Amino acid sequence: MDAVLVSACLRGVPCRFDGRDKAASALPGLLAGRRAVPFCPEQAGGLPTPRRPAELSGGDGHAVLDGRARVVEDTGRDVTDAFVEGARRALAEALREGCAEAVLMPRSPSCGRGAVHDGSFDGTLVEGDGVTAALLERHGIAVRGVPGV
């Protein structure tokens, strides 16, 4: 059975920044016949739950991995290292489990695919990927979000 890395919050684990989950009703259809491997990169990177909201500043996850952007909390505290560490651990888990695909939480600074918050903390979205999504993509793992979440 094929394995798919899945944002743990989408599987009902209360690991989001606000201490909640984001269980997705569309997930069973996306995972049909495949084994879900739930993973929260932010917790794996050492961040607590709940935690301060964080957004990408100066670029997307690819720019963070290249050292050209940061991940900051709404207080201004830099949490880039924790996000990068969480992404590395997510990649290691995906490779260990044989995941060729990941289904991740949209708009997240870790897991977002295609659109992420811009660092202004006012809900503005910009084109780009989260740190984990970017690292997985760089290693040939297909990443997609869940529609309607």
pLDDT tens digits, 69-82: 999 999 999 999 99
Whole-number mean pLDDT of the chain?
96
Q: How does strand 35-39 pair with strand 3-7?
A: parallel
Query: Does the pLDDT of residue 1 top 80, yes or no?
Result: no
pTM for this model (two decimals): 0.96
Phi, psi dihedrals of residue 116, rounded to the nearest 5°: -140, 160
Buried b vs exposed e over 25-41: b needs ≥16 C-beta within 10 Å? Answer: eebeebbeebebbbbbb
pLDDT tens digits, 112-137: 999 999 999 999 999 999 999 999 99
Measured between alpha carbons, how far apart are the two ends of the chain, in Å?
26
CA angle 21, 37, 107 (to 5 degrees): 45
Query: Does the pLDDT of residue 147 top 90, yes or no?
Result: no
